[in-house]
Structure 1
């Protein structure tokens, strides 16, 4: 799997890296904050310890003669690098100690124990200080003791820790990126296998299916959905091949008749009457060809999503009666009767021409597949969103396996449709047109065969 823009591997690695960076940043910030607080606490604890020790000594000194001992002790506690320093502020110069006392005069106004930071000349980092007020004792006036510690060592420690933290964090992110890349590659191997299987599919191998064994749950669902799509594609491809064969067959017969009759007519001298008979026969075949072409064009428009226009709220029973009247001669000839039952007051928004076309196909199909003298029933049924029109006729039972395909183009079942000539002018598109008209009206179709009665129905939306 190549790393390309938008690839799953790149996205997963980027998300791993972002998650790791955010995690390490939060942990690093928390650790850095803890370190800073602990360093400050440590500094002030050391200052406080030293401050209290000297406070005890100074508090017990009451004369200038003994003050030299305090000075000697503070000299001894002052390291050579000057990282710790002491100051004693007093109105009496004999009880003062430390360098730069004038710069510290502002500290005398601070409360006992309050910390402050001062930057001494020649120093890069400030001193952190603690101070305490010591009351007068015997001949010694009140003094203020200040203890300071250079913050440079602590700041150096903080910087070293921060640098190490950054390096470790970046290293950790790099490790996570590499591990995430490996994990993504391993985790996506089943997807690569599925991709390879899908690429190997060809029109002649549509019966093959993706292997779903040992797949993760998420990919298994995807593979099942893809296999379902393959099944539908295989079925559609098979129907298309059968459809093409049926079209060729339906067109070949009238074309062969036209060519044959024309060749016979031209094979020798004919009278005008003979040519008139040939032309009359040819006209019938041409009408059949035109009917097939028109029906195919109509179905093509329906397949492209064309919907019925000019819808008018119409009593459905009225349109059904008009269609029945159109078949009056055929019904009288076959002694067949047609009755209307159900919700005879039902109304729906219809395009009358399309509706009558669908009704004509259903009635013609029922008449041709009913015995002479049969009773055909048109049942109307209102539902909240649609009105159903069902045409029932007595006839040979239709197997359940065929019912769902009867509205497909050129689909014929000998047991149900005699010799296949029952549908719209005998070319197998009548029920397909019914389905298209129902779809153009936002409806559906259905077929059933029970108790010697076959029922074909379609619905139209009541809302339009």
Structure 2
């Protein structure tokens, strides 16, 4: 049994609850019983005093006083728990040979008190004052009753209550642990199911049937997490395969061309052509690696840092100047509308705009026009790049910004594009606190991003 287990902790909590409840109930019961036990000696003192008070008040002469002494002696012998003292200024009118301790008690406050004799005997005493009568002076009458048995009952009651509290705590702990073990059986069953899930078989799911509502929510959340993990795992496998393919093609070209060039002597012009072709493949490899490093930085939560206020229309114009040759070769024109001032990292924004416009140019026919619209929308601004083209199915639209994703797998690596352009657009938008969007309607395909104003 592990001390950090839920069952052990619940058992401990049950024990604490039982301890608290038992102490409260025990203290209340102890105080109530104590109060009831104290009533008995108090009532007996009051009864004895009511009987003797009238007799003492009537006895004033020595003859009657002697009779009172005899009566008090008889009462003391009948019940050895009772003690009587009479204290006065005249020794002839005293009883019980009062000691200095008794005199101090008699001359103290009137009423019922707890008192302890010199020998340690606990008494409950009633002190009263009686006025002078005939020759008898004023006196102090003290009645005491031995409450040692009552004190012993108090002690035994306290010990019994403590024993009951200890037993209740132990019983609550054991029962709490047992109940917790029974209550956690569904959780252990879920744990056994979860232990059977492991890569690469991630299609399994936990069964939420016959589970408490709390565990149903946990299982549903866990299954949703498994769904996301499975999707991420599948995308990672596809991503790894795409990366390997993208890197393999230029590497194969480099190795093949170099091997052919080395089979026999070649002219300087031929070697120049081979090196020129290799340089293009190496540049493509460098582009892939740089894009992968940029996406890895964005995935780790990288944020745009060197923010400057910029005009989006001006940034689009700068990007069009950079893509002038590509747009001319594609035979397309670009129309820009709208503007807004935003805080951006210019290099990242221009990279995203380059990818959006280049993507539109690749999928446009000569003579067609690409439209770039900049639309402020509340606290955000939208940059949308639209081009005429074939309709894209709705199921593909959410995935177009994923790495290496293509609607038509047969058009792989079309135009020298290695499938990371739109993924970089998404990363740039995320680094600026924005998002991306894609629409295909009315024979026009639109890709873009939103940025905070």
TM-score bracket for this pair, using the shorter chain length: over 0.9
Match in the other structure for 1:147: 143
**1:191 matched to 2:187:** yes
Indicate how the Cα distance of structure 1 residues 117 and 308 shifts in structure 2: closer, same or farther if over 3 A, else same.
Answer: closer
Give the secondary-structure state (helix, strand or coil) at the position aligned to 1:48. helix
In 1: Cα distance, 2:102 partner to 2:271 partner: 134
Match in the other structure for 2:93: 95
Match in the other structure for 2:173: 177
> How far does residue 411 in structure 1 lie from its aligned partner after superposition?
0.3
In 2: Cα distance, 1:330 partner to 1:290 partner: 20
In 2: Cα distance, 1:204 partner to 1:56 partner: 103
TM-score of the superposed pair, with normalisation by structure 2: 0.92
Gaps of 5+ in 2: none
In 1: Cα distance, 2:268 partner to 2:216 partner: 74
Contact 2:86–2:139 at 8 Å: present in 1 too? yes
Q: Pick which of 238-247 and 82-91 moved more.
A: 82-91
Indicate how the Cα distance of structure 1 residues 263 and 116 shifts in structure 2: closer, same or farther if over 3 A, else same.
Answer: closer
Contact 1:378–1:389 at 8 Å: present in 2 too? yes
Contact 1:51–1:146 at 8 Å: present in 2 too? no
Indicate how the Cα distance of structure 1 residues 73 and 410 shifts in structure 2: closer, same or farther if over 3 A, else same.
Answer: same
Q: Pick which of 290-299 and 176-185 moved more.
A: 290-299
In 2: Cα distance, 1:418 partner to 1:434 partner: 23
Match in the other structure for 1:446: 437
Give the secondary-structure state (helix, strand or coil) at the position aligned to 2:298. helix
Indicate how the Cα distance of structure 1 residues 23 and 275 shifts in structure 2: closer, same or farther if over 3 A, else same.
Answer: same
> How far does residue 289 in structure 1 lie from its aligned partner after superposition?
2.0
Give the secondary-structure state (helix, strand or coil) at the position aligned to 1:205. coil
**1:221 matched to 2:213:** no
Q: Pick which of 327-336 and 295-304 moved more.
A: 327-336
- Residue 73 of structure 1, aligned match among 57, 71, 74: 71
Indicate how the Cα distance of structure 1 residues 352 and 91 shifts in structure 2: closer, same or farther if over 3 A, else same.
Answer: closer
- Residue 391 of structure 2, aligned match among 393, 397, 418: 397
In 2: Cα distance, 1:220 partner to 1:348 partner: 46
Contact 2:330–2:362 at 8 Å: present in 1 too? no
- Residue 116 of structure 2, aligned match among 113, 119, 131: 119
Q: Pick which of 251-260 and 132-141 moved more.
A: 132-141
> How far does residue 448 in structure 1 lie from its aligned partner after superposition?
1.4
Give the secondary-structure state (helix, strand or coil) at the position aligned to 1:204. coil
> How far does residue 272 in structure 1 lie from its aligned partner after superposition?
3.3
**1:271 matched to 2:263:** no
Residues 366-405 of structure 1 correspond to what in structure 2 (within 5 A)?
366-405=360-399
Give the secondary-structure state (helix, strand or coil) at the position aligned to 1:300. helix
- Residue 130 of structure 1, aligned match among 126, 130, 141: 126
**1:323 matched to 2:319:** yes
1:270-324 per-residue CA deviation (whole Å, 9 max, x = no partner) reads 4333333333333322222222222112212222222223221111110001112
Match in the other structure for 1:359: 353
- Residue 340 of structure 1, aligned match among 315, 323, 336: 336
Alpha-carbon RMSD across the aligned residues, in angstroms, is: 2.3
> How far does residue 81 in structure 1 lie from its aligned partner after superposition?
7.0
Contact 1:315–1:348 at 8 Å: present in 2 too? yes
> How far does residue 107 in structure 1 lie from its aligned partner after superposition?
4.2
Q: Pick which of 433-442 and 273-282 moved more.
A: 273-282
* Matched residue count: 453
Q: Pick which of 284-293 and 232-241 moved more.
A: 284-293
In 2: Cα distance, 1:91 partner to 1:304 partner: 101
Gaps of 5+ in 1: none
Give the secondary-structure state (helix, strand or coil) at the position aligned to 1:78. helix
Give the secondary-structure state (helix, strand or coil) at the position aligned to 1:210. coil
Q: Pick which of 428-437 and 222-231 moved more.
A: 222-231
Contact 1:365–1:422 at 8 Å: present in 2 too? no
